[in-house]
Structure 1
């Protein structure tokens, strides 16, 4: 396997994970997919890490599945099973994942971006779904996630044309939270990740799971599930812990003024 095709930097409770095949626009070769799965499974077991920033080196976040390799090996769908199922590896990661989309996020790369909990984009970011043009059916969730984020009509426009979506429009449509100048993207993502890790760890992990689980339920059932989990958690909360938390929140608010 090629060395350093993915890089991991640990910054306190935050891990910065960088796809590192810039000459190939970080195309998702079998080796890189294997490494992504391995890294997220490894970080899942790391007690020190409570948030991940996922980004790419060079001009692309990732241009998607390595079609050159696919043509040589017969791989087509991109929905690998077993040990290199990146959707499963990232989906089972219990802490927040911030996608810092630095450039092209195309087809499988678009799907990888949608596996993240929050998306921040560089002004150079561009999204495209070319599944219908290259003859591959999405297998990592794009057909279901994208319409829920930006609406069915807009999702169909992107998927049925294969056209690029620029960063500013992606922000306006609600696909990304914010757009930054290229050199400000990673610092902003790192800062947000540290803000997330400053929350109560039990709440942070439990809140992510509650949102994700509820998203897959009918709305009425999700509301009932929230009540159930809230009541279960309340049983472990004391008046003293609430007061201590209130003081911390107040102090943080004063510091932001």
Structure 2
């Protein structure tokens, strides 16, 4: 079993192997203690306060099968309920974040099967996580892979990453948020172009349209993404969750509704111990000690 596990890790690719060796040498990574078939999980960072989920179907370019997405959901559950974890990172290999959904798995589905089984309904678990989720995208993020990245709160990309919704090429359309989230980020014209042509865009184009926050050399991507997770994890988890909810409300509602929600949430922070501690620490010119209360 130990040998098989080592072989599986080797198949992820040279970049992943190098990343793993460097991180192991620095003693920054610790196992989450649970084994999965399609993903790898670790608690990372100097304080082990960032949950890392690595998609691990190297032979299929991390194609998203039902089993993989079920395991991602389980890992999200694990980290969301772990008080030592303040942020979550999802990544793949340098060659592919996820090259799409598993076409072989869905090829023989019928309309009635999709409706009765509510096909893909559990794939949005990432979007429903109360803790910040950051995508570290190297290589291909196509179809379901692009949709998974867009379910995350922040996207960092490697300089060779490619994003796209190529479903039109196989006689279907995006089914896990591609037409909806991409339109909200990039606007109608760009979303139409991407979805109707099926052509991918580069990391640089994705950054320009607002889909990606920052671009890094591929070898540095995961390290830089973990740094972001560590920074977020220094704050109160309670206040971070409220802030994330407020930003999502802006994304999903009108300006008037969003402003009202923001103000009431701001007011609500004055009932928390962490708001009091944060302001007191600022006045006393010291680092705050948050308790997530």
Q: Could you say which TM-score interval applies, normalised by the shorter chain?
A: 0.7 to 0.9
Of 37, 43, 63 in structure 1, the residue corresponding to residue 79 of structure 2 is 43
* SS of structure 2 residue aligned to 1:17: strand
What is the CA RMSD across the aligned residues, in angstroms? 2.6
For residues 176-230 of structure 1, the C-alpha deviation after alignment (integer angstroms, 9 at most, x for no partner) is 1111111110110010110010112221111111211332111111101111111
Q: Judging changes above 3 Å, is the alpha-carbon distance between structure 1 residues 248 and 94 closer, same or farther for their aligned structure 2 residues?
A: farther
Aligned partner of 1:6 in structure 2 is 39
Q: Under a length normalisation based on structure 2, what TM-score does the superposition of the two structures give?
A: 0.77
Q: Under a length normalisation based on structure 1, what TM-score does the superposition of the two structures give?
A: 0.87
Distance 1:179 1:94 in 2: 25
Q: Judging changes above 3 Å, is the alpha-carbon distance between structure 1 residues 153 and 204 closer, same or farther for their aligned structure 2 residues?
A: same
For residues 233-257 of structure 1, the C-alpha deviation after alignment (integer angstroms, 9 at most, x for no partner) is 224467664130453579xxxxxxx
Aligned partner of 1:158 in structure 2 is 194
Aligned pair count? 248
Distance 1:219 1:175 in 2: 21
For residues 97-134 of structure 1, the C-alpha deviation after alignment (integer angstroms, 9 at most, x for no partner) is 11000110111111001001000001121011112222
CA contact (8 A) 1:6 1:18 kept: yes
Aligned partner of 1:117 in structure 2 is 153
Q: Judging changes above 3 Å, is the alpha-carbon distance between structure 1 residues 240 and 116 closer, same or farther for their aligned structure 2 residues?
A: closer
Aligned partner of 1:172 in structure 2 is 208
CA contact (8 A) 1:77 1:137 kept: no
Q: Judging changes above 3 Å, is the alpha-carbon distance between structure 1 residues 241 and 18 closer, same or farther for their aligned structure 2 residues?
A: closer
For residues 132-153 of structure 1, the C-alpha deviation after alignment (integer angstroms, 9 at most, x for no partner) is 2222232222211111111211
For residues 145-185 of structure 1, the C-alpha deviation after alignment (integer angstroms, 9 at most, x for no partner) is 11111121111111111111011111122111111111110
Q: Which stretch of the first structure deviates more once superposed, 211-220 or 152-161? A: 211-220
Q: Judging changes above 3 Å, is the alpha-carbon distance between structure 1 residues 72 and 240 closer, same or farther for their aligned structure 2 residues?
A: closer
C-alpha displacement of 1:74: 5.7
Distance 1:15 1:240 in 2: 26
C-alpha displacement of 1:66: 0.5
C-alpha displacement of 1:71: 2.2
C-alpha displacement of 1:81: 4.1
**Bigger RCO of structures 1 and 2 (CA < 8 A, at least 6 apart):** 1
Distance 2:106 2:163 in 1: 21
Q: Which runs of 5+ in 1 are unaligned?
A: 251-257
Distance 2:52 2:96 in 1: 16
Q: Which runs of 5+ in 2 are unaligned?
A: 1-34, 289-293
Distance 1:174 1:245 in 2: 33
C-alpha displacement of 1:24: 0.5
Aligned partner of 1:228 in structure 2 is 264
